[in-house]
Chain A
């Protein structure tokens, strides 16, 4: 897919966390109005909307959109598990790229605190299925244990990544977790064990939230906000699992690691971008060991060198390739549908050079990656014009 004529016009989100007193619709309205204000547009200008949420509530997206007004616009519900937000963005960008509309809205909303409480047993997919006993944490822990066996990776490596993301989150007023002190790897290792070798501080929290991205025809960006840097999507790749020997069908939350490598290479090729030119990356760090794997799978270092990136601090803000500058899923939070749109929010601020205390110097190209259960992987590249 080519995005030559598409730009991000506006971004907006609410702080992720537990929002007991506000409905998903209220959160979504606030995020949407912030994005419209950022774009310099009114809701009447929106030609089409894609609403992403994981909550199994019929008609939710269409009802929520009525919060903004009843203009008759086409609305579509998008759901791809944890990758939902980026796929809502991808569909909105497609709608503009295809000429179907001049301006499209991607809106993500979810209240995971309510999902976590409700349902049968409160987690998993129910009591009477063969794989209901295996938690997502277990799957990513299996990945971590194999890595430790093959590469000599130590739990300290995962703890350092988690601590980095907690400390990035402290620089982001919209992050759920904002530690009042510099988080250390020792503190992360000492937190409650979830699934060997992962601890509670290496895992993302349960969040509520909403985030919105407005995309539109490229020339609108300069007309609406003259003098502001224009950020454009340059590739959006989406893949599902490709069969490989030893493929595990029952139980895993996401498919083989190679899914991220294949999807990233498709995106790099489509955009003509060299991984060495990427300024920052936002990835699916639901558990800290995932981020370590993605250093290699996104081609930021050769296989076997990811531990060295951690030891050198290369993925901190100020390092060679900063990862999860807004705190990532671990600190910014992971409400489900809004997560991918929060990643786009961060990349757009970074590429406009409006990211304040967490600004990556001379940021020019940003990468947003998510995996989702089922499973899917998406890699999206953005450039500053």
Chain B
């Protein structure tokens, strides 16, 4: 019996690698005219207004710019024990600052720490597929 198929909460924002341990990548855009990168994808460059943009993959690593820990259960959380959740903004080396849910407890984050993309299962849909969302987790935690 193989593992359930994984589907994104919303299409077009991140990849879902075949291998479970592999980090996802974010689906972004690069402006061919001025070189600026964006997440999520966009047709027109927000900086120079050129429509000459191309799809690109961003991440999976970045630096934590700011974070908080929200003390109410996350909407759609699958794990019954989750009493709250981290939220942060992560600066990607390509430029975009990405806001996302963070994996970890209230004391696990500090500004400036390296982060890596990860996928988290929110729930199972009617077809038995796992509905997943991207998150960032502290890189230290990934290596231990």
Are A and B physically bound partners?
yes
A→B interface (CB under 8 Å)? 121, 123-124, 127-135, 137-139, 141-146, 149, 192-198, 243, 245-252
- Flag whether B101 is at the interface (Cβ < 8 A): yes
Q: Give Cα distance in the complex from A246 to B72, angstroms.
A: 28
Q: Is the pair B68, A145 in contact by a Cβ cutoff of 8 Å?
A: yes
Measured CB to CB, the nearest residue on chain A to B131 is A128
Contact of B99 among A132, A137, A142, A245 (CB under 8 A): A142
Q: Contacts of B65 on A, CB cut-off 8 Å?
A: 146, 246
Question: Would B75 and A138 count as touching, CB distance under 8 A?
Answer: no
- Complex interface residues of chain B between 83 and 123 (CB less than 8 A to chain A): 85, 87-89, 91, 95-101, 106, 111
Q: How far is the CB of A244 from chain B (nearest CB, A)?
A: 9
**Which of these, A128, A133, A249, A251, contacts B38 with CB under 8 Å?**
A249
On chain B, the residues within 8 Å of A123 by CB distance are 75
Asked whether any CB of chain A lies closer than 8 Å to the CB of B46, the reply is yes
B139 sits at the interface (CB 8 A) = no
Of B46, B71, B101, the contact of A134 (CB 8 Å cutoff): B101
B70 interface hit (Cβ, 8 Å) = yes
Q: In the complex, which of the residues A128, A194, A243, A251 contacts B71, with contact meaning CB atoms closer than 8 Å? A: A194
Q: Nearest Cβ in chain A — how far from B117, in angstroms?
A: 14
Q: How distant is the Cα of A144 from the Cα of B67 in the complex, in angstroms?
A: 9
With both beta carbons as reference points, the residue of chain A lying nearest to B38 in the complex is identified as: A249
A135, B72: Cβ atoms closer than 8 Å: yes
Chain A residues in 8 Å Cβ range of B75: 121, 123-124, 127, 132-133
Q: CB-CB < 8 A to A245: which residues of B?
A: 95
A129 closest partner in B (C-beta): B10
Chain B positions within 8 Å of A137 at CB level: 70
Cβ–Cβ contact A130 & B89, under 8 A: no
- In Å, the complex CA distance between A139 and B100 comes to 10
Nearest neighbor of A145 in chain B, beta-carbon distance: B66
Contact yes or no, A251 B68, CB < 8 A: no
A123 shortest CB reach to chain B, Å: 7
Task: Out of A128, A195, A250, A252, name the residue touching B68 (CB < 8 Å).
Answer: A195
Most buried by A among B38, B70, B74, B111: B70
Q: Are A130 and B10 in contact (CB under 8 A)?
A: yes
CA distance A249 to B99 in the complex (A): 8
Q: How far is the CA of A121 from the CA of B72 in the complex (A)?
A: 14
Contact status of A247 and B69, CB under 8 A, knowing A132-B75, A138-B87, A142-B89: no
A-B CB contact pairs (8 Å), 28 listed: A121-B75, A127-B76, A129-B9, A130-B9, A130-B10, A134-B99, A135-B72, A138-B68, A142-B67, A142-B99, A144-B68, A145-B68, A145-B111, A146-B111, A194-B70, A194-B71, A196-B68, A246-B91, A246-B97, A248-B89, A248-B97, A248-B98, A249-B39, A249-B46, A250-B13, A250-B39, A251-B99, A252-B99
Most buried by B among A141, A145, A197, A252: A145
B40 within 8 A of A: yes
Please tell me if the beta carbons of A146 and B71 are within 8 angstroms of each other in the complex.
Answer: no
- Chain A residues, CB < 8 A from B66: 142-143, 145-146, 149
Residues on A with C-beta less than 8 A from B13 are: 130, 250
Q: Is the CB of B101 within 8 A of A250?
A: no
**Complex alpha-carbon distance, A129 and B11, angstroms:** 9
- Report whether B72 and A149 are in contact in the complex, using a CB–CB cutoff of 8 Å: no
Interchain CB contact under 8 A, A246 and B95: yes
In the docked arrangement, what's the CA distance between A194 and B101, Å? Answer: 16
Q: Which of A127, A195, A249, A251 contacts B70 (CB 8 A)?
A: A195
Docked Cα-Cα span, A142 to B46, in Å, equals 23
Asked if B47 is at the interface of the complex by the 8 Å CB criterion, the answer is: yes
Residue of A at shortest CB range from B112?
Answer: A149
A135-B70 in contact (CB<8A): yes
Known contacts A145-B111, A249-B40, A133 near B95 by CB under 8 Å: no
With a 10 A CB-CB cut-off, give which of A127, A137, A195 has the most chain B CB atoms. Answer: A195
Docked pose: A149 CA to B109 CA in angstroms: 13
CA distance A251 to B100 in the complex (A): 7
The answer to whether B58 has its CB under 8 Å from any CB of chain A is no
Q: Quick one: closest B residue to A256, CB to CB? A: B97
Q: Quick check: B99 and A128 within 8 Å, CB to CB? A: no
